[in-house]
Amino acid sequence: MDAHLERISQVNPTLNAIVTLVTDTARDKAREADVAIIRGDAVGPLHGLPVAHKDLTRTKGIRTTFGSKVFQDFVPDDDALIVERLRAAGAITIGKTNTPEFGAGSQTFNEVFGSTLNPYDTSKTCGGSSGGAAVALASGMVPLADGSDLGGSLRNPASFCNVVGFRPSPGRVPIWPSQASGFSMGVQGPMARTVTDVALMLSAIAGPSSRSPISLPEPGNRFKPPLTRDFNGTTIAWTYNFAELPFDPRVTTIVNAQRSTFELLGCTTEEAEPDMADARGIFRCWRAWYFELCYGSLLKEHRNRLKDTVVWNIEEGQRLTGPHLGKMEIKRTALLERFRRFMEHYEFLILPVAQVPPFDISIPYITNIN
């Protein structure tokens, strides 16, 4: 624990990844963990490992701001379920990681703590919205961190910072508390520096819970390492033009150069892509609905304290009607069915995580892709 706290003191003042640090509590818990080992107690799979929680994740007695001036002094009375499970597995909370306001955006900055910088190039963004987690991992501040993902927030910052962010299937990691317990587009998941570490962390946080009505029944221990397998004959769909989105050629060049790696493992790669018609409209609709549901009540009193993209999403949600939501759900169901049929022919679909490489820290978001 002392080694990780020392590393945080060395690099965090520059990178700004961990925004709330609980040094004394972490050290006390680390001493307790040492004593448990000396006594020969049974310990969990994450025993003694420091973990940082995204500042969207509720932590009992530890400030949780959601990256918003509205909640800059908020201290929860309870832990999120993912925090409970990490601690039950032996992990020790070391602090909270930075996030854009309410997780909105692929650039980690807010009015409470400022910007989090990419550890490989501090003039660039680390991505978002689990950007603080990705930077803390990449720079060696922590070995494990949790994150969340509605539209790329586990995967995008992991890609920008050369770590692993895994978006599990909805219900694999049950979410509690939640204002929309049946909502299946937003998930929580593990982040670490290696796939093996992510799998170990997933084994501790996955599994059913009565507090989440969409939680899946399989226990988390199915994900415990080792992860070795024979990939010979595995079919992979290799996508160059996903959903007709533009991709920066620097991104596609790097991704396409890895195709031979999969073929050397024995995989069969085919150029193919699912029909993603209507995907962008579906996502924007349900994202707006979710933001209005969660944060719409803040708009009247706190409009001037919310960032513009949060306000925009809330107002988009307020304009939604029942018939429009119905049409979008029909389109979403059709999209999921088309994707299911596509994946009957492939075990994996490989495509770029992000449309662009890390961009300048001063740019809130990319508006044009060459």
Instruction: Write the DSSP string, 263-309.
Output: HHTT-EEEE-----TTHHHHHHHHHHHHHHHHHGGGHHHHGGGS-HH
Burial degree of 163 (CB within 10 A; 0-12, 13-18, 19+): buried
Catalytic residue among 115, 148, 153, 178: 153
Helix axes 308-318, 279-295, angle to 10 degrees: 100
Distance CA 113, CA 101 (A): 10
Distance CA 150, CA 56 (A): 13
Q: Is 54 a catalytic residue?
A: yes
Q: Is the dihedral of CA 162, 167, 173, 177 positive or negative?
A: positive
CB 273 within 8 A of CB 242: yes
Q: Is 212 a catalytic residue?
A: no
Distance CA 159, CA 101 (A): 21
CB 241 within 8 A of CB 362: no
Residue 193 corresponds to which tokens in the numbers above?
A: 């520096």
Catalytic residue among 115, 129, 130, 215: 129
Beta carbons within 8 Å of 176's beta carbon, 6+ residues apart: 80, 81, 209, 211, 212
3-state SS of the chain: helix, strand, coil percent to 5?
Answer: 40, 15, 45
Phi/psi of residue 165, each to 5°?
A: -120, 120
List 92's β-bridge partners, or say none: 50
Residue 108 corresponds to which tokens in the numbers above?
A: 């980690």
Q: Token pair 């597995």 is at which residue? A: 89
Distance CA 53, CA 39 (A): 29
What is the 3-state secondary structure of 17-71? CEEEECHHHHHHHHHHHHHHHHHCCCCCCCCCCEEEEECCCCECCECCCCCCHHH
Catalytic residue among 54, 96, 130, 159: 54
| Amino acid at position 40, single letter | G
The residues assigned a catalytic role are 54, 129, 153
